[in-house]
Amino acid sequence: MRCPYCGSLDTQVRDSRPTDDHASIRRRRVCPDCGGRFTTFERVQLRELTVVKRSGRRAPFDRDKLETSVAHALRKRSVTPERIERMLNGIVRQLESSGEAEIQSSTIGELVMEGLKGLDDVAYVRFASVYKNFREAKDFEELLGQLGAVEEEGAPAPPPGSDD
């Protein structure tokens, strides 16, 4: 690991421990050349993934890009960073454990939509509108109708004799 202060490649690990969510390792490092101390966070990567875009173009999977698109959908929404990180880790874990080296971008999009639906309805609609390339208001109406139908299925039945 390169020292951020002097650029030396000969840094030493002083302490390693898992993060609270156990998705990465926190390492305290020191540079013997300049004495600089810094922390790195390292994730286990099960396999190299390639994303196959709609156009057929291939690109390496980039967790940061996934995180950025989720952050855009969740902008100004009150969802804790821990829940977001748990969702992202779950998606990456599903992709890595799928057994496939090449993943369709549509698969990633569907996993993100599924995860956002469980976190925040507004973020779900925001992401879906971009992912599904909404062009008209009726596209939103259809999605909101589906979202409402799903919520009604999970809602308890009204008590007998109520006006609902």
Q: Where are the domains of the chain?
A: 12-43, 50-151
- Predicted local distance difference test score (pLDDT) of residue 147: 74
pLDDT in tens, 3-50: 999 999 989 999 999 887 777 789 999 999 999 999 998 876 656 899
Distances (CA, A) of 56 to 51, 70, 87, 89: 9, 23, 27, 26
- Predicted local distance difference test score (pLDDT) of residue 154: 52
pTM: 0.61
CA angle (15 as vertex; 12, 17 as ends), nearest 5: 130
- Predicted local distance difference test score (pLDDT) of residue 156: 47
Residues 6+ apart with CB under 8 A from 25: 16, 17, 18, 19, 41, 42, 43, 44
Instruction: List the chain residues with pLDDT less than 50.
Output: 155-164
